Structure 1
Amino acid sequence: MTSGDTPQTVPFASAAASSGAPFVEEPVAYDALLLSSFGGPEGQDDVIPFLRNVTRGRGIPDERLEEVAVHYRHFGGISPINQHNRELLEALRAELQRRGVDLPVYWGNRNWEPYIEDTVAQAAADGHRTLLAIATSAYSSYSSDRQYREDFARALLTTGLGEGDDPVTIDKVRLFFDHPGFVEPFYEGVRAAVEGFLAEGTAPEAVRVLFSTHSIPMGDAAKSGPGDREWPAGGAYAAQHSAVAAHIMDRLAREVPAAGAVGWDLVYQSRSGPPSQPWLEPDVNDRIAELPAEGIRAVAITPLGFVSDHMEVMWDLDNEAMASAEEAGLAAVRTQTPGTHPAFVVGLIDLVEERLNGTPAAERPHLTELGPWYDVSRAGDCENARLGFRPAAAGLLP
């Protein structure tokens, strides 16, 4: 990608990223990595306090939060996301050791322990000043990109570590929606599911792949991605998902010719807003209900928007969507997420080494025409339609 932006100062950034150029093409001596995620409860007593954190500032009463809490209570009040992050943390450390890269990796969450503020404070106490963050989210939107950058800024502001003569800085690796390491596990899952259906005698035109991701409000979707370019309906968020899904299906048709007639849709899940507020559609369950009338007999449900099998995958897909498929009389498979797949782990450390080495943008791997995405977020990128702009690291103002 290219940008005509005039370089500007980037707050809380390393010296190399502070000019505001879209890509940092000079080596940066980072001294620690920061794995940043959403967080989740670890027991029944944690569920409501966790949901209060998630919805802070919205004035949602506990009675309404309890309606969502049932998903967590079904699994003993334990979100799988924390364990997935512990496993990813160890896998990243092992890959760094394998490559001989001496960088400690810290882990901090937005909504539950370990909190990002505490993690940044610990990294600073350990003597680290130049941090590079990896967020467990691949796409452009407020909650999946800018809010993480706001988390970093908040941590530096509330601790005071972003000020003074020797401030802590936090950069962020580029969004990795079309990086080969992220896409490979999804492709493997789709291919296995489709080949399984075909081997059972299902005609390819009777098979459909549903690429599912978290729905977001249309207002936020429209503001996802850089504000200086035109996006179709759904903004950069929908465009990125569609581009990756199209790549997967094009590759499948090349490598499994019998699958050339298999169709696909981008669908959405986990809507949480009021009925009066428009969110991205179609809902995965609504789309499943329509498929039998279109001659579809088998469906592969692919959680394209998710890094691991956390609550939205286990409840909304493994529970609700699979039940919808059964009700519709469809054979159904839910395909894998990246998790700690070796290609994904290797890919994340490849992204780290891009920044350590200052790899030129022209040499960075990407699988769609939208990439490689920016190192430094562009002005106005992923504004919150309700709250506007708040301080954020790793990007141009505002």
Structure 2
Amino acid sequence: MAARGFRDGVSGTTGFDAVLFLSFGGPDGPDDVRPFLENVTRGRGVPPERLDEVAGHYLHFGGVSPINALNKAMIASIEFELERIGVDLPVYFGNRNWHPMVEDTLGRIRADGHRRVLVFPTSAWGGYSGCRQYDDDIARALSALGADAGDMYLRKLPQYWQHPAMTASWSEAILAAKAVLPEELRDEARLVFTAHSIPLSADRAAGPPADGGQLYSRQVAAASAAAAQAAGFADFDQVWQSRSGPPRIPWLEPDICDHLVTLCERGTRSVIVCPIGFISDHLEVVWDLDNEARDQAQELGLGYARAATVGTDPRFITMVAGLIAEQCNGDVEFRLGMTANGAPCAFGCCEPVKRPVSAERS
């Protein structure tokens, strides 16, 4: 029999009946690029020239973001795994910034008769962008339903950056990348982890106020240490990528390309770059790492290998299905990131910081 019941401390024992796969979104063609970027940056005062610059990155790939096909492939794999383990829940696809928009998807979920929905966000991390903003998406979608939202309950799954399956997937990807380096460079390769940079003010606001902030950067550091150890590396570097804000606003540093220069000056001959902050090879990964960073490494004469992201790893899919199943199978202990109907998981947790931000990419 399919597993459907769970213990909700607020609402009692009822069954979840659907899953919402919630992501960032990306353009499906050249005509979508500018409207998509305007959705991403609405209200942030981003200058048109910055949008033109980021639009050029998308147009380099035909105006199509890789994230759409990757998400659909993950959804198909999750559906297959849920069926295999006996969890009878349909999986719906919704986005923050492009079609299918989460508001439209939630309307379809309700029209199909579902009321109790588990939400899987395509970010493993804490912080506003990594966690709280997905709560905002849920709240906005419920608001769009109006009076029809009264009988809906959406629970966001907990943060999963520390899950053993993630560590195992990252470590195997690191070793696979090491194997593609020339044999004489493998054992001396420097392991470098990258994640999306955010403003220092946003990192200071990440987490519950009593926790002291910097939840996001602390999580990335801990995940990197665990993955490095599992892959057999005694040392590693943690750097950042995809900064998009104005120079006057301090962001997490160093940038991956700047760090490659530093490594070269230290005598490093090869690097393995692991994009630990991302679950799939979307635009920020393929542009920033497979184009800009790779070109930088080539100019510096560095051997360069980029580890795969975890989204295509069967262990990752099994992990997602397991997170869903454990919510359906009984009492579930609260973990950071678990939220109901868009309310934050703790008072004041990961409050947004007002700041000018340029276009994000996915």
Q: Same fold (TM over 0.5)?
A: yes
Q: CA RMSD in A?
A: 2.1
Shift of residue 61, structure 1, vs aligned partner: 4.3
Find the counterpart in structure 1 of residue 3 from structure 2.
none
* Count of aligned residue pairs for this structure pair: 345
d(CA) in 1 for partners of 2:192 and 2:29?
A: 32
Residue 57 in 1 paired to residue 25 in 2? no
Provide closer, same or farther for how the CA distance between residues 287 and 120 of structure 1 changes in structure 2, counting only shifts above 3 A: same
- Please tell me whether the aligned partners of residues 289 and 306 of structure 2 are also in contact (alpha carbons under 8 angstroms): yes
Find the counterpart in structure 1 of residue 194 from structure 2.
212
Helix, strand or coil for the counterpart of 1:228?
helix
Q: Report % sequence identity.
A: 44
Letter in 1 for 2:48: D
Shift of residue 59, structure 1, vs aligned partner: 3.0
d(CA) in 1 for partners of 2:195 and 2:107?
A: 33
Shift of residue 296, structure 1, vs aligned partner: 1.2
Deviation string for 1:77-124 (max 9, x for gaps)?
000101111101111110111112110110100000000000000000
Helix, strand or coil for the counterpart of 1:201?
helix
Aligned counterparts, 1:1-398, within 5 A: 16=8, 18=10, 29-160=15-146, 163-164=149-150, 167-195=151-179, 197=181, 200-202=183-185, 204=187, 206-231=188-213, 235-253=214-232, 259-260=233-234, 263-358=235-330, 360-361=332-333, 373-376=336-339, 377-386=345-354
Find the counterpart in structure 2 of residue 256 from structure 1.
none
Deviation string for 1:187-244 (max 9, x for gaps)?
11112233555x712374x32111001111111111112222135xxx0111111111
Unmatched segments (≥5 aa) in structure 1:
1-13, 20-25, 254-258, 363-371, 388-398
Deviation string for 1:112-168 (max 9, x for gaps)?
00000000000000111111100000001211211110000011012215644xx21
d(CA) in 1 for partners of 2:225 and 2:148?
A: 41
- Please tell me whether the aligned partners of residues 7 and 331 of structure 2 are also in contact (alpha carbons under 8 angstroms): no
Find the counterpart in structure 2 of residue 22 from structure 1.
none
Shift of residue 355, structure 1, vs aligned partner: 1.1
Shift of residue 360, structure 1, vs aligned partner: 5.0
d(CA) in 2 for partners of 1:113 and 1:163?
A: 21
Find the counterpart in structure 1 of residue 360 from structure 2.
none
Shift of residue 251, structure 1, vs aligned partner: 1.9
TM-score by length of 2: 0.90
d(CA) in 2 for partners of 1:241 and 1:304?
A: 8
- Please tell me whether the aligned partners of residues 27 and 357 of structure 1 are also in contact (alpha carbons under 8 angstroms): no
d(CA) in 1 for partners of 2:50 and 2:319?
A: 40
Helix, strand or coil for the counterpart of 1:131?
strand
d(CA) in 2 for partners of 1:80 and 1:62?
A: 24
d(CA) in 1 for partners of 2:336 and 2:143?
A: 27
Q: Which moved more, 1:155-164 or 1:145-154?
A: 155-164
Letter in 2 for 1:150: D
